[in-house]
């Protein structure tokens, strides 16, 4: 087929003296024709060669008046992301056309966090048995999301065999590119029946009366003149025919424009035998550059929408997403670079004003393969799925994390524990299936042995209380930690019964004491400002007024203030402040009572230096890396003791260093939390004294499970499921085992009453502002009255007694000796 196209192209240019070539129709045919176009400067314009391989090189005389395969990859990637599928398989035709889209679609998928885990190539002319072999390989994979890029004829055979092998059933996802999506409406019945449930992409063409009229005329002409017996469904025009019509219009317009200024007749050699060597003898078309520019500058409203070429390509702003249901297609949504996924097309989408979306909720419901309306998970247990061998440590103690119990009758082991539950909860969050089995492994000496088994591929992974340390990360990979990190010190608790001289100040924090004193003075100031003009008790010398105001304010603490207040504003202030004081006094009394009666616990050792100075013995867990930390801290070897169980921990601490025990136990925080949850307040944690990365799951170097499990662990930390697991394995995971513990001894801070003080402050400020405004109003009124009551021989003066308000007296006085 390709050789016949080459001959036809040479014949058209050499013997028919054509100035423009419309075609070729396929990408494979276009590769030679573009070379010929560049040599002869004869513009070649195609309406159906969408492959990216054509434009890998500089081809100035090749014009693509149709979509380009790489244009649709963003829409496909957005669709895959919308349904949260993490892995896909690319199925393509094994030729330049099929391979051309691979770089762009792979980059687009990886850009949204989707992995292309495999590529399956199908030769163009594969027999059915070869197709079956390749499809069976796909069945053996976990991934059930397949993106198909083939020509329609090959795709029809592929889906027919997939249906026969049971791969068009529930759980599978088949996505096809526009090479298939464009012709879905005109495929034969037997082909479309095998594609039920697939999702296809194609350029969006808005419906119009022009398209309706063209479609009717095209169908009638096609059936009457060419194929009378063709099914009317297959005789309808596709987008390719609409583009072909627009191309013919663009070529006619450009030719007419150039023909006005110069001749289009080329001066080629006379007709002769056509051969492969005649290509080098073809001269260039003189009018070629003018024709090319005229076509590129053309712009008009065509059947398929706006005909506008940018960089020699027709722009396709919006893609249509369709779902094959039965023998028909149904539009489920649209995609545009500016708006993302949308359920319907409107002016906002076309003009790029809509908000960008990548949510599946913005699409119509889809009928998936197997007539299922449930969104597929995107993965399933493959036919030959490998069962991962997970090594778990066999512990003699601290079985809260990993507990292995073996049935002596069946010799089968049951594994449980906090680490196991966290691993299984993380696996459930993976976007694919993971088959595994636990293999108990005795590593009482050191967990390094378990890690080495993963390194030597004896185990596929290791799950347990394995600490992430630098030496181990050289050989294996760890997930992110699923426990608290660090090494702390465990010591005995001791009762702190020593009397405290200033204990009466401890119920309230410093900031609350300061705030209370400020508001006491502020309340006294407000009452004094209001009462001074009208109340004798608040009058007199300045010293007396200050003493009275602050005595009144402090006496409200015991609600024994003796001054009688007269203003309604003052009464409101006093009532509000007494309410606040009542709340403060009650809280203070309750907190002080708790401090005086509750047992106060302090750690028996608070500092490493104290242990080193006293020469005390310390302990750690058997097989732990903590021993190296203690040596770095300069503890003598004979002072470091090893213990294996929680009971040994408790016994050694109770005995103390002087009686053959230890003064402190050093261990990782998760172990100490487990210990304290069992023994309660008898022991306390001090530290941390060293930083570690916590516990993680062990996997081989470069394992793809590491980022997925880490992401799952991270999501668990934000969900209540983790708290539920902790409550299952730890008695009370909410308690804090650090530092001193005094039941009810926490101080009351200003933050506890911040809202109350804000309300009171605003009310006091408002009362003060109202009183000041009233004072200014009375003064202004008094001044206006003083100026308007003049008489010929004197003035009218209003006098107020200071000791007690007196009714105003009007007297006549000499103007030069006016006094009040």
Half-sphere exposure of 293 (CA within 13 A, CB side): 5
Q: Distance between CA 501 and CA 510 in Å, rounded?
A: 16
* 502 belongs to a structural domain: no
Residue 511 has pLDDT above 60, yes or no: yes
Count other C-beta atoms under 10 Å from residue 707's C-beta: 12
In whole angstroms, what is the distance from residue 654 CA to residue 755 CA?
A: 47
What pLDDT does residue 372 have? Answer: 93
732 φ, ψ to 5°? -150, 90
pLDDT at residue 582 tops 60: yes
Q: Is the pLDDT of residue 162 over 90?
A: yes
Which pLDDT score is estimated for 165?
Answer: 92
Separation between Cα atoms, residue 267 and residue 265, nearest integer Å: 7
The enclosing H or E element of 522 equals: helix 510-531
pLDDT above 70 (res 598): no
What is residue 564's DSSP assignment?
Answer: P
| pLDDT of the residue at 765 | 84
User: Quick check: 377 and 431 in contact, CB under 8 A?
Assistant: yes
**Alpha carbon distance 340, 391 (integer Å):** 45
The residue with tokens 């583009």 is 243
The CATH number covering residue 44 comes to 3.40.50.2300
Distances (CA, A) of 447 to 5, 442, 625, 705: 70, 9, 9, 21
State yes or no: cis peptide before 452, omega within 30 of 0: no
Statement to judge: residues 146 and 199 lie in one domain: yes
The pLDDT tens digits of the residues spanning 437-491 come to 999 998 876 889 999 999 999 999 999 999 998 889 999 999 999 988 788 889 8
pLDDT of 249 higher than 50: yes
395: CATH? 3.40.190.10
Residue 6 domain-assigned (yes or no)? yes
Measured CA to CA, the distance from residue 440 to residue 739 in angstroms comes to 38
Helices marked H in 402-441 — which ranges?
A: 418-428
Q: For 21, list phi and psi in degrees, rounded to 5.
A: -110, 125
Q: Round to whole Å and give the CA distance between 295 and 257.
A: 10
Contact between 608 and 621 (Cβ < 8 Å): no
> Mean pLDDT over residues 791-801, rounded?
41
pLDDT at 796: 43
The phi-psi region of residue 811 (left if phi > 0; otherwise alpha if psi is between -120 and 50; otherwise beta) is beta
pLDDT tens-digit map of 616-627: 899 998 878 888
Query: Does position 185 have pLDDT exceeding 80, yes or no?
Result: yes
The answer to whether residues 310 and 342 belong to one domain is no
For residue 278, the model assigns a pLDDT of 58
Asked whether the predicted pLDDT for residue 647 surpasses 80, the reply is yes
Same structural domain for residues 89 and 174?
yes
Domain membership flag for residue 12: yes
Q: Are residues 79 and 177 both part of a single domain?
A: yes
Same-domain pairing of 806 and 793: yes
pLDDT above 50 for 810: no
Average pLDDT over residues 744-763: 78
Q: Residue written as tokens 């960008």? A: 356
> Would residue 565 count as lying in a domain?
no
Q: Worst-scoring range by mean pLDDT, 49-58, 628-637, 728-737?
A: 728-737
pTM: 0.60
**Above 60 in pLDDT, residue 790?**
no
Q: Residue 386 — very low, low, confident or very high, per pLDDT cuts 50/70/90?
A: confident
Is 679 inside any structural domain?
no
Q: How many angstroms separate the Cα of 318 from the Cα of each of 105, 269, 426? A: 17, 46, 39
What is the DSSP-derived secondary structure letter of residue 479?
A: P
- What's the domain range around 820? 789-820
Same domain, 396 and 285: no
Average pLDDT on 311-332 reads 91
What was the pLDDT predicted at 787?
57
- The H or E element that residue 618 is part of is strand 618-621
pLDDT computed for residue 100 by the predictor: 87
Residues 136 and 260 in one domain: no
Strand partners, 600: 742
Q: At what angle do helices 239-259 and 288-297 cross, to 10 degrees?
A: 130
The phi and psi torsions of 651 (rounded to 5 degrees) equal: -65, -45
Final residue before a domain boundary, out of 456, 485, 514: 485
CA–CA gap between residue 644 and residue 682 (Å, rounded):
20
Give the H/E segment covering residue 414.
strand 413-416
Distance between CA atoms of 668 and 490, rounded to whole angstroms?
A: 10
pLDDT (tens digit per residue) in 7-59: 777 777 777 778 888 877 777 677 777 777 778 888 889 888 887 766 656 77
Q: Transcribe 664-725 into DSSP letters.
A: EEEEEHHHHHHHHHHHGGGEEEEEEEE----B--EEETT-THHHHHHHHHHHHHTSHHHHHH
Identify the bridge partners of residue 724 per DSSP, sorted by sequence position: none
Of 191, 222, 237, the residue at which a domain comes to its end is 237
Asked if pLDDT for residue 178 goes beyond 90, the answer is: yes
- Residue 734 pLDDT greater than 60, yes or no: no
pLDDT at 801: 37
Mean pLDDT score of the chain, rounded to an integer? 81
Give the domain-ending residue among 217, 237, 257.
Answer: 237
For residue 798, what pLDDT is reported? 41
Q: State the average pLDDT over residues 181-197.
A: 92
DSSP assignment of 207-263 equals --HHHHHHHHHHHHHIIIII-TTS-TTTTS--HHHHHHHHHHHHHHHHHHHHHTTS-
The SS3 of residue 331 is: strand
Confidence of residue 803 (pLDDT cuts 50, 70, 90): very low
Residue 794 confidence (pLDDT): 45
What span, in angstroms and rounded, lies between the C-alpha atoms of 690 and 626? 9
Task: Look at residue 687 in the predicted model and tell me its pLDDT.
Answer: 74
> Could you count the other beta carbons within 10 Å of the beta carbon of residue 152?
16
**92 with 182, same domain?**
yes
What is the phi/psi pair of residue 336, to 5°? Answer: -135, 150
Average pLDDT over residues 712-738: 76
Q: Is 48 helix (H, G, I), strand (E, B) or coil?
A: coil
Residue 681 pLDDT: 77
- Average pLDDT score over residue span 101-123: 92
Number of domains in the chain: 5
- Whether 210 and 198 share a structural domain: no
Same domain flag for 199 and 325: yes
User: What confidence tier does 391 reach under pLDDT thresholds 50, 70, 90?
Assistant: very high
Q: What is the CA radius of gyration of the chain?
A: 44
Can you list the positions of beta strands (E) in 279-318?
299-302, 305-310, 313-314
- Residue 443: its pLDDT value, please? 80
Average pLDDT over residues 553-572: 66
d(CA 330, CA 467): 54
On whether both 330 and 184 belong to a single domain, the answer is yes
Question: How deeply is 381 buried, as exposed, middle or buried, from its count of CB atoms within 10 A (0-12, 13-18, 19+)?
Answer: exposed
Give percent above pLDDT 70 in the chain. 82
**49 in a domain, yes or no?**
yes
Residues 102 and 148 in one domain: yes
Residue 804 phi/psi, 5° resolution? -155, 140
- What mean pLDDT is predicted for residues 635-653? 89
266: confidence class by pLDDT, cuts 50, 70, 90: low
| Mean predicted confidence (pLDDT) in 717-737 | 73
The residue with greater pLDDT, 737 or 294, is 294
Residues whose CB is less than 8 angstroms from the CB of residue 140 and which lie 6 or more positions away in sequence, other chains included:
382, 383, 384
Mean pLDDT across 235-252? 91
- CB of 441 closer than 8 Å to CB of 454: no
The backbone region for 489, taken as left when phi is positive above 0, alpha when psi lies in -120 to 50, beta otherwise, is beta
Over the stretch 483-510, which tens digit does the pLDDT of each residue have? 887 888 898 887 665 556 677 777 888 8
* 613 is a domain residue: no
Q: Which residue has the tokens 């369709």?
A: 322
The candidate with the shortest Cα–Cα distance to 356, out of 371, 377, 335, is 335
User: What is d(CA 135, CA 141) in angstroms, rounded to the nearest whole number?
Assistant: 10
The pair of structure tokens assigned to 370 is: 């197997």
Rounded alpha-carbon distances, angstroms, from residue 32 to 28, 59, 246, 276, 326:
8, 11, 24, 12, 40
810 within some domain: yes
């Amino acid at each position: 087929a390709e050789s016949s196209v080459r001959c036809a192209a040479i014949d058209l240019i050499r013997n028919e003296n054509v100035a423009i070539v419309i075609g070729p129709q396929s990408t494979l045919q276009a590769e030679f024709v573009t070379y010929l176009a560049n040599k002869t400067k004869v513009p070649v314009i195609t309406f159906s060669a969408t492959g990216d391989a054509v434009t890998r090189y500089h081809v100035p005389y090749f014009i693509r008046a149709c979509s380009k395969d790489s244009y649709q990859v963003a829409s496909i990637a957005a669709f895959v992301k919308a349904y949260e599928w993490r892995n896909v398989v690319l199925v393509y035709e094994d030729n330049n056309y099929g391979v051309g889209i691979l770089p762009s679609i792979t980059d687009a998928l990886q850009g949204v966090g989707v992995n292309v885990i495999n590529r399956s190539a199908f030769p163009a002319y594969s027999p059915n048995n070869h197709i079956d072999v390749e499809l069976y390989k796909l069945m053996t994979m976990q991934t059930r999301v397949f993106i198909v890029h083939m020509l329609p004829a090959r795709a029809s055979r592929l889906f027919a065999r997939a249906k026969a092998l049971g791969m068009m059933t529930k759980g599978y996802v088949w996505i096809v590119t526009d090479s298939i999506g464009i012709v879905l409406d005109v495929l034969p019945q037997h082909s479309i029946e095998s594609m039920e449930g697939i999702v296809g992409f194609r350029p969006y063409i808005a419906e119009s009366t022009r398209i309706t009229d063209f479609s009717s005329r095209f169908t009638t002409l096609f059936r009457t003149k060419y194929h009378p017996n063709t099914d009317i469904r297959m005789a309808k025009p596709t987008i390719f025919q609409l583009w072909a019509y627009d191309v013919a219009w663009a070529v006619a317009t450009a030719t007419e424009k150039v023909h006005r200024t110069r001749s289009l007749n080329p001066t080629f050699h006379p007709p002769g035998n056509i051969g492969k060597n005649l290509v080098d003898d073809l001269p260039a078309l003189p009018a070629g550059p003018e024709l090319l520019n005229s076509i590129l500058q053309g712009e008009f409203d065509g059947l398929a929408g706006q005909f506008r070429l940018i960089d020699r390509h027709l722009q396709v702003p919006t893609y249509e997403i369709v779902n094959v249901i039965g023998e028909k297609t149904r539009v489920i949504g649209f995609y545009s670079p500016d708006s993302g996924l949308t359920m319907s097309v409107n002016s906002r989408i076309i003009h790029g004003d809509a908000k960008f979306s990548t949510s599946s909720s913005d699409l119509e419901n889809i009928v998936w393969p197997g007539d299922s309306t449930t969104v597929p998970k995107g993965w399933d247990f493959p036919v030959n799925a490998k069962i991962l061998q997970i090594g778990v440590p066999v512990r003699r103690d601290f079985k809260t994390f990993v507990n292995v119990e073996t049935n002596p009758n069946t010799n089968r082991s049951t594994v449980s524990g906090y680490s196991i539950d966290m691993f299984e909860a993380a696996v459930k969050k993976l976007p694919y299936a993971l088959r595994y089995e636990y293999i108990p492994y005795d590593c009482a000496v050191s967990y390094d042995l378990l890690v080495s088994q993963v390194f030597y591929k004896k185990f596929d992974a290791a799950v347990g209380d394995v600490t992430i340390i630098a030496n181990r990360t050289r050989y294996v990979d760890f997930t992110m930690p699923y426990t608290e990190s660090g090494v702390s010190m465990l010591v005995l608790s001791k009762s702190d019964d020593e009397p405290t001289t200033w204990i009466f100040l401890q119920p309230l924090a410093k900031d609350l004491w300061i705030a209370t004193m400020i508001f006491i003075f502020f309340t006294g100031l407000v009452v004094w400002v209001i009462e001074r003009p009208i109340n004798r008790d608040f009058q007199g010398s300045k010293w007396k007024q200050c003493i009275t105001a602050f005595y009144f304010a402090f006496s409200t603490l015991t609600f024994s203030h003796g001054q009688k207040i007269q203003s309604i504003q003052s009464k409101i202030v006093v009532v509000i402040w007494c309410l606040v004081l009542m709340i403060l006094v009650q809280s203070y009394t309750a907190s002080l009572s708790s401090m005086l009666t509750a047992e106060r616990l302090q750690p028996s050792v608070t500092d490493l230096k104290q242990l080193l100075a006293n020469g005390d013995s310390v302990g750690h867990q058997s097989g732990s890396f903590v021993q190296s930390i203690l040596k770095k801290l300069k503890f003598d070897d004979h002072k470091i003791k090893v213990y294996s169980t929680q009971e040994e921990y408790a016994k050694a601490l109770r005995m103390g260093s002087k009686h053959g025990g230890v003064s402190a136990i050093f261990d990782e925080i998760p172990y100490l939390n487990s210990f304290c949850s069992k023994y309660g307040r008898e022991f306390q944690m001090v530290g941390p004294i060293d930083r570690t990365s916590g516990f993680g799951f062990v996997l081989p170097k470069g394992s793809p499970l590491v980022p997925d499990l880490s992401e799952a662990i991270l999501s668990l930390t934000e969900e209540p499921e983790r708290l539920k697991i902790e409550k299952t394995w730890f008695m009370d995971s909410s308690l804090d085992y650090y530092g001193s513990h005094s039941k009810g001894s926490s101080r009351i801070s200003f933050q506890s009453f911040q809202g109350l003080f804000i309300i009171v402050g605003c009310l006091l400020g408002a009362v003060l502002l109202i009183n000041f405004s009233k004072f200014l109003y009375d003064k202004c009124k008094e001044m206006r009255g003083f100026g308007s009551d003049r008489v010929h021989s004197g003035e009218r003066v209003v006098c107020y007694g200071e000791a007690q308000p007196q009714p105003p007296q009007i007297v006549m006085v000499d103007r030069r000796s006016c006094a009040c």
